[in-house]
Amino acid sequence: MSIVLVPLVAAAVFLLADSSPPPPVDQVVLLPNADGSTGKLIVRSSAGEQVLATPYASAQSTHRGELQTSVADAASVSARYGQALGAQPSRPVSFTLYFVSGSADQLTPASSATLEQIKASLSQRAVPEILVIGHTDRVGKLEANDSLSVQRAESVKKLLLAAGIAAGSMEVSGRGEREPLVPTADEIAEERNRRVEINIR
Amino acid sequence: MKRKTTFLNACALLTFSLVWQSSSLAADAATAAGTIKTSRGTAQIERQGAKLPADVGSAVNVNDRIITGADGAVGITLRDNTLLSAGPNSTLDLNKFAFNTTTHAGELNASVKRGTLAVVSGKIAKTSPENVSFNTPTISLGVRGTEFVIDAGKGVE
């Protein structure tokens, strides 16, 4: 009798275990930003919501949607995510060019040196892409500043090409007065806001 | 007469499909969401049923699926400077991407079906954080200007 029962029980246990495998678990880990600050993640599942806001704060979910939180560390993140993090592209960088007063094509001496930094940054990237971004101060209307900022960016694109700077793609855009370096009230002339940014990604 | 009509129809259909194909190719170029910057091991882009190698320099479009093998890893920079990098045995769907370089308005949604993904959020997350989200089979993530990693394990299908 027991000779028959033992394999039956074993088979039943095997079948039960097989029909309910360990539930899949999804996980997110908030990392400290490169500049040392930490952002925020809002984690939602069918069963609830958790906000992660401290370095290495982590949330796990089961396929039933339950959320648990814990704190990971650099070593466990590197063990599980090392290859994903290792494949991370180079961080985009920005350089700013300023013009000699009243000129649309003559750079300040400091900005001429920046051109060399731009070349060096491009040479370190496998597939560099450039976004030339014009900015204005807040004198004039939004629409007028949009087109002025594009004109500035276009003239810098020509200047970059003339300096032998090339990339897989060079796109031009104008942020107008939306992103002042020095915040001012409307209609305030501010030299430091009349600039062109070279974003390399 | 009827045969002639059929022939004309076939010609029209052929012309239409040629025009449609070339216009969809042009649309692809215009809607590139990002570029593959790093690629290692087995890595593919699945686009409209076709499998393309995920080589460095390849464009990544909306609705592309990125798949890595056991030895694979891929790094993508999106046009708003978002960095996405997938580890081995991973499937990543880029469901939505739009970015206006003037206003920085836009949207981004990607799903990690399985495997791992590291993210550094970009310009859209700064201007319109509510329009940036990531999913796993069981989690949806809202992003407020930050870096993080996602693990969807072996995934559920």
Q: Domains in chain A, please, with CATH?
A: 21-86 (no CATH), 93-200 (3.30.1330.60)
Which phi and psi angles does A156 have, rounded to 5°? -70, -35
Q: Which of B39, B69, B72, B32 has its CA nearest to residue B54?
A: B39
What's residue B145's pLDDT? 85
What's residue A25's pLDDT? 85
The pLDDT-based confidence of B15 (bands split at 50, 70, 90) is: very low
CB contact A61 to B (< 8 Å): yes
C-alpha distances in Å from residue A34, one per residue of A84, A131, B116, B126: 16, 22, 20, 16
What's residue A107's pLDDT? 76
Regarding an ipTM greater than 0.90, the answer is no
For residue B53, the distance in angstroms to the closest alpha carbon of chain A comes to: 16
Question: B104-131 pLDDT, tens per residue?
Answer: 999 999 999 999 999 999 999 999 999 9
Question: B84-100 pLDDT, tens per residue?
Answer: 999 999 999 999 999 99
Count of Cβ atoms closer than 10 Å to residue A26 Cβ: 25
Nearest to B148 among A28, A90, A174 (CB): A28
Residue of A nearest to B101 (CA): A173
Structure tokens at A29: 């880990």
Bridge partner residues of A134 (DSSP): A174, A196
What's residue A6's pLDDT? 54
Residues shown for chain B: 157
Measure the CA–CA gap between B91 and B115, rounded to whole angstroms: 7
Can you list the positions of beta strands (E) in chain A?
25-31, 40-45, 48-52, 57-62, 67-71, 93-97, 129-135, 169-176, 196-200
Q: What is the mean pLDDT of chain A?
A: 87
What's residue B154's pLDDT? 87
Nearest to B85 among A43, A61, A88 (CB): A88
Structure tokens at A4: 């028959």
- Calculate mean pLDDT across residues B28-52: 89
What's residue B13's pLDDT? 44
What's residue A111's pLDDT? 85
Amino acid at A175: R
Helical (H) or strand (E) element with A87: none
What's residue A163's pLDDT? 86
Which phi and psi angles does B97 have, rounded to 5°? -155, 130
Taking the C-alpha atoms of A76, A77, A83 and A89 in order, what is their torsion angle to the nearest 10 degrees? -160
What's residue A178's pLDDT? 95
Bridge partner residues of B65 (DSSP): B46, B93
With beta carbons less than 8 A apart as the criterion, state whether A198 and A130 touch. yes
B25-28: Cβ within 8 A, 24+ apart: B28/B59, B28/B61
* Sites in chain A below the pLDDT cut of 50: 1, 12-15, 17-18
Measure the CA–CA gap between B154 and B138, rounded to whole angstroms: 12
Contact B146 A133 (CB under 8 A): no
- Give Cα A26 to chain centroid, integer Å: 23
**pLDDT at B19 > cutoff 90:** no
Q: What is the mean pLDDT of chain B?
A: 86
- Which chain B residues have a beta carbon less than 8 Å from that of A40? 144-146
C-alpha distances in Å from residue A77, one per residue of A57, A74, A86, B137: 11, 5, 12, 21
What's residue A174's pLDDT? 95
